[in-house]
Copies of this chain bind each other. A is one copy, B any other.
Amino acid sequence: MVNVGVLGATGMVGQRFIQLLDKHPDFEITALAASSRSAGKRYEDATTWYLNESMPESVKDITVCETSPEAMSNDVDILFSSLPTEFAAKVEPEFAKDYVVASNASAMRMVDDVPLVIPEVNPEFLDLIEIQQKNRGWDGFIVTNPNCSTIALTLTLKPIYDAFKINKVYVSTMQAVSGAGYNGVPSMAIVDNLIPYIGNEEEKMESETLHLLGNLDGTDVVNADFSLSASCHRVGVIDGHTEAVFVELDKNEDIADIKNVMVNFKGLPQELDLYSSPKNPVIVKDEDDRPQPRLDRLSDNGMAVTVGRLRKDAAMDNSFKYVLVGHNTIRGAAGASVLNAELINKKIL
């Protein structure tokens, strides 16, 4: 068993980390860090628990510590981070001197020597770890996973990208409120309403997706060579991001072939049979009215992305379109970091 800790343990994604790590065959939670307001308290006393699944017994009595390497006891190897961006930028490098940091924060994602990884998509980017450690003289390192809406999109684009040539992608999202944290979206903003804006979300989707589908050329990532435009919106759904995707290829492909590459897509986690890996990263449904976030977000424990309405785009040359649903706090956040850590644990540690 590898001892692990969670940074930002009382927040929404922190709670998901705890839920996913509870009863994990390889990882055992031994440290929970949060703000100084929570430090020193039992986790149960420090936390307002928001998840439908109840708080695991195993963490209730853990004493929350402050979020600094000094406050962290030594018996931890991997730290999962769901820290806010600015704080992550400051503190994750300090932890990385001694620990493996598997981070869901956006702070370090686009830093040159920090791997931004989806295990099914670009596991080879983990080669950057060695460079990172050398550059910085760290014993530990930082590995990051992408933004929630990016992960779901990229998992569905990867098999397309490998089999065909993509020219352009347009994506319009309908994102769940949990993505903004428990207090992020007031009910006045979302009952009988939607919000057509999520700060920095479009920029993240547009840059991270091309990075993830790019190639690692020595120490540099060369972005994938197509154009991607995103429009991001918040709707009154608790969990599960929905995305409408329009894809233009360089030539006409049969829709059955496109479905085929999605359905048959497997990656390294499936090959290695990692504990959190879904049987199929992408599930394709044929019903007209799927995917729906409430019905499909928990497919394969929230780790699979569900695609539906896959159809030729009659209006556009060489084009097709589809809708996807992915669980934003499992596959799109905590589960992504855990899967990264499982891969690292198997291949690197």
Name the B residues within 8 Å of A35 (CB-CB).
Answer: none
Report A178 CB to chain B, min CB distance, Å.
Answer: 6
Name the B residues within 8 Å of A196 (CB-CB).
Answer: 242, 244, 289-292, 308-309, 323
A3 at the interface (CB under 8 A from B): no
A231 at the interface (CB under 8 A from B): yes
CA distance A225 to B206 in the complex (A): 29
Name the B residues within 8 Å of A242 (CB-CB).
Answer: 194, 196, 233
A134 at the interface (CB under 8 A from B): no
- Measured CB to CB, the nearest residue on chain B to A226 is B315
| Pairwise interchain contact A52-B315, C-beta atoms closer than 8 A | no
| Pairwise interchain contact A188-B193, C-beta atoms closer than 8 A | no
A246 at the interface (CB under 8 A from B): yes
Contact of A193 with B309 at beta-carbon distance under 8 Å, contacts A168-B316, A184-B186, A186-B184 already known: no
| Pairwise interchain contact A194-B295, C-beta atoms closer than 8 A | no
A36 at the interface (CB under 8 A from B): no
CA distance A10 to B308 in the complex (A): 23
A164 at the interface (CB under 8 A from B): no
B-contact bits for A76-114, CB 8 A (1 contact / 0 none):
000000000000000000000000000000000000000
A319 at the interface (CB under 8 A from B): yes
A20 at the interface (CB under 8 A from B): no
